[in-house]
Amino acid sequence: MNEKNEPMPYCNVLLLSSDSTFVNGCVTKADGSFLMVGEEGVPYSLRASFIGYATATQAIDNRNLIQLLPDAQALEEVTITAERPLIEPSANGLKANVIGTSLAKMGTASEMLSHLPFVTGKDGSYTVLGHGTPEIYINNRKVRDTGELDRLRADEIVSAEVITTPGAEYATNVAAVIRIKTIKQRGQGWSGSLQATYQQGRAYRMSENVSLNYRTGGLDIFAKGYINHGTNHSTESTTQTMNTSAEWKNQTELETKLKRKVFFKGEIGFNYEPNENHSFGIRYMPDTYIGEGKQESKGKSLTTKDGETMEENEYITQNRYLPDLNHSINGYYVGKLGQWTMDFNADYMFSKNRMEQLVLNNQTNEVSSRNHVRNNLYAAQLMLMRPLGKGNFVIGTEETFTNRHDLFKQSGFSADANDHIQQSVYSVFTQYGIRFGKLNLTAGLRYEHQKTHYYENDVLIKEQSPKYNDLIPILNLQYREKDWSLGLSYRVMKFNPSYAMLASAVSYQSKYFYTNGDPHLKPQKHHYFLLNGSYQWIHAQLFFDKVYDTYTSYYKPYNDERHPGVVLRTQGSIPVTYAYGGNLQMAQKIGCWQPQLTAGVEWLDSNGSSLGIKEHWNEPLFTFRLDNNFNFPNGWFFNLNGNLDTAAKRSYAIKKTMGQVNARLSKSFLKDDALTVTITANDILHTGYTYFNAYGDRVYSEATRYYDSQRIGLQLSYKFNATKSKYKGTGAGQSEKNRL
């Protein structure tokens, strides 16, 4: 408003952070109103200016009314410009600004994630360099399936924060977190989006999804559907050499095709906000395969003993995946009670997996097995938060109950198994964060009690039914000036082996290769130190990780007397492992070119002598990634990226040089870029091979695999209206869901 309380159009309004850094900007409309996107809970200020009027700056409030008064001094016309950085430090890691940057042109959230700082991976499988697999959240809600990332457009995202020191509210096995915040859409009525993707390599893959949302007042009703179909193709060459009573060598060439008719993932639910202080909702998510899935592997093998040919085998392995309907339900409540904020989540999950295997050796000898797995999970989490002194205080609890049955039947090559695992985990946690000027301090503590009952053939095995009581401390210091920041953090983490790693059943892979788990595995515990720093557009981190009881997969003889020549891939623990290294990330815009360069180095000191493995190396592994973004006029966008991992001998494995080059070209059409057409090309140089060369207990195995990664694709994405679901459920028991 002006001095006469009249609306002022065409005023410049800037959104500034607490240190006056530019965050966003806009121009007022004819009625003087303006709208900008920011992050909830951040102490922003607004700065409004107009020629001939004195500039006004004030802190944001629930209702922002700014009055400009005439300036007594005559001003010459000036132009003020500011550019938002692509990457900037945050209290617990690095934050990528997506809206208004090249990251918004990456198509979907799934495609955008691999372009974040220190993040690698694709298709729902991601790694934060030096940290491991992250948990992913969208607007404080845990992502449960990768299809959800495919359904979220990158240009609907405000920011994505890569948290390298997760707080006490996260489970003990959370090594890193990626938190996505989307644009807060307004409006009533119907909204939705449609997306279709087609990729062609040796085999085709297709996916389609639709999302519908209806909002009226505080009620939000939503329904989503996602289907995926196609064929996976892979080739593999393997050589396994074993020295027992004789030298056995098995050479295999294998081609595998996996065809599933249609995979369906659904979602339906509601969210209700009676007022700004309370919100609750329920979400139901079924998924199933429509029709049986079939995987067929055709292989040829040559087996020798002391150089003499023992057998030449042509074999066919057929796996049938029977359709089952799985269910998961999440309910939540978020509300303010005085100075306290309550966040409650409850989850239930039921899943059933049935697989049948048939192997034909030289078209005569048949080997068969059946594996039926049934899972039940109940989980709940409660967090209470409030301001305390000059900081913020959090206290909470989380409980998870798991019941898993694993039934395995076979035709005589090993033994039947009937495993039943019941596990309960009780956790309480507290955390306090406070700011002293430019220094942020966060300290937290989590206590976790874990109890397991392990049954074989309905008989309790006490030595495999442990109890654990763990204290998990977290400490994070962060100092930030205008152009630079420096942080130091320490965290203890505990990782439970997956239930598949604990399975006692011996599975048949080929005539001379079996696999199984180890029910005696202990959780592995990490003591993780991180030093990070940033200066303008340069970001770096150094890390050191001491790990106790590292579980690992390795090879050894199965039974030299009863099954000579058979190699077993099993699980084991290494008492102490050290991992340390550093990463560097640079992102500076040059005209229409926005490059990102990431470089890293890591050492892995892991001695497997307790497992009978003699080899032990600790060579550095170097990682490089160059991400080139080009923003051209008229909505055109081009990305060319490549990655390279150098060769290295690490622990008892030999890594070879690996890397690939990918590209994407997109164009947006219609109002508000409602329609986007994208062409993708992956593994352009056909270099996306994976190599696995490793020593074990009297066994050396080397394998070369190619998973049909050279593909060209077409993606169509369309959205209508502007409303988005307000669902705020975060979910509970996430670590157990991952293990199941």
How, if at all, do strands 45-49 and 56-59 pair?
antiparallel
Query: Is residue 82 scored above 60 in pLDDT?
Result: no
Q: Cα–Cα distance between 29 and 7 in angstroms, integer?
A: 9
What's the whole-number mean pLDDT along residues 374-394? 92
Query: Is residue 358 scored above 70 in pLDDT?
Result: yes
Q: What pLDDT is attached to residue 59?
A: 87
Q: What pLDDT is attached to residue 218?
A: 81
pLDDT tens-digit readout, 165-177: 888 888 888 889 9
Q: What pLDDT is attached to residue 262?
A: 83
Nearest to 728 by CA among 172, 336, 164: 336
Asked if residue 477 is part of any domain, the answer here is yes
DSSP assignment of 21-50: -EEEEEE--TTS-------TT---EEEEE-
H helices present in 231-365, as ranges: none
What's the whole-number mean pLDDT along residues 518-534? 92
Q: What pLDDT is attached to residue 734?
A: 55
**Domain shared by 205 and 74, yes or no:** no
Q: Cα–Cα distance between 303 and 674 in angstroms, integer?
A: 59
Contact by Cβ (8 Å): 739, 498: yes
Q: Cα–Cα distance between 90 and 450 in angstroms, integer?
A: 33
Q: What pLDDT is attached to residue 260?
A: 67
Residue ending a domain, choose from 82, 97, 120: 82
Which helix (H) or strand (E) element contains residue 444? strand 439-456
pLDDT tens-digit readout, 497-507: 887 888 888 88
Q: Cα–Cα distance between 543 and 332 in angstroms, integer?
A: 36
**Range of weakest confidence among 151-155, 322-326, 384-388, 520-524:** 151-155
The pLDDT mean for the chain works out to 87
DSSP assignment of 664-729: EEEEEESGGG-EEEEEEEESTTS---EEEEEE-SSEEEEEEEE----EEEEEEEEEESS-------
- For residue 331, the Cα-to-chain-centroid distance in whole angstroms is 22
Asked if residue 166 is part of any domain, the answer here is no
**Range of weakest confidence among 134-148, 195-209, 554-568, 682-696:** 134-148
Q: Cα–Cα distance between 333 and 539 in angstroms, integer?
A: 38
Asked if residue 570 is part of any domain, the answer here is yes
Asked if residue 103 is part of any domain, the answer here is no
Asked if residue 698 is part of any domain, the answer here is yes
Q: Cα–Cα distance between 647 and 727 in angstroms, integer?
A: 46
Identify which of 7-11, 125-129, 420-424 has the greatest average pLDDT.
420-424
Residue ending a domain, choose from 82, 116, 131: 82
Asked if residue 692 is part of any domain, the answer here is yes
Nearest to 178 by CA among 105, 121, 99, 106: 121
Asked if residue 271 is part of any domain, the answer here is no
What's the whole-number mean pLDDT along residues 385-389? 91
**Domain shared by 252 and 380, yes or no:** yes
pLDDT tens-digit readout, 615-628: 999 999 999 999 99
Q: Cα–Cα distance between 416 and 369 in angstroms, integer?
A: 9
Contact by Cβ (8 Å): 552, 576: no
Q: What pLDDT is attached to residue 735?
A: 57
Q: Cα–Cα distance between 571 and 499 in angstroms, integer?
A: 12
Q: How many separate domains does the chain show?
A: 2
Asked if residue 114 is part of any domain, the answer here is no
**Domain holding 715: CATH number?**
2.40.170.20
**Domain shared by 198 and 69, yes or no:** no
**Domain shared by 68 and 194, yes or no:** no
pLDDT tens-digit readout, 99-158: 878 888 887 888 888 899 888 887 778 888 888 888 888 877 777 666 678 777 788 888
**Domain holding 13: CATH number?**
2.60.40.1120
**Domain shared by 251 and 398, yes or no:** yes
- For residue 105, report the phi and psi dihedrals to the nearest 5 degrees: -95, 10
What is the residue range of 30's domain? 1-82
pLDDT tens-digit readout, 190-231: 888 888 999 999 988 898 888 898 988 788 899 988 888 888
Strands (E) located in 560-685: 563-587, 593-606, 617-618, 621-631, 636-645, 648-651, 653-655, 658-669, 675-682
Q: What pLDDT is attached to residue 732?
A: 57
Residue ending a domain, choose from 36, 51, 82: 82
Nearest to 185 by CA among 37, 62, 61, 32: 37
pLDDT tens-digit readout, 469-483: 989 999 999 998 888
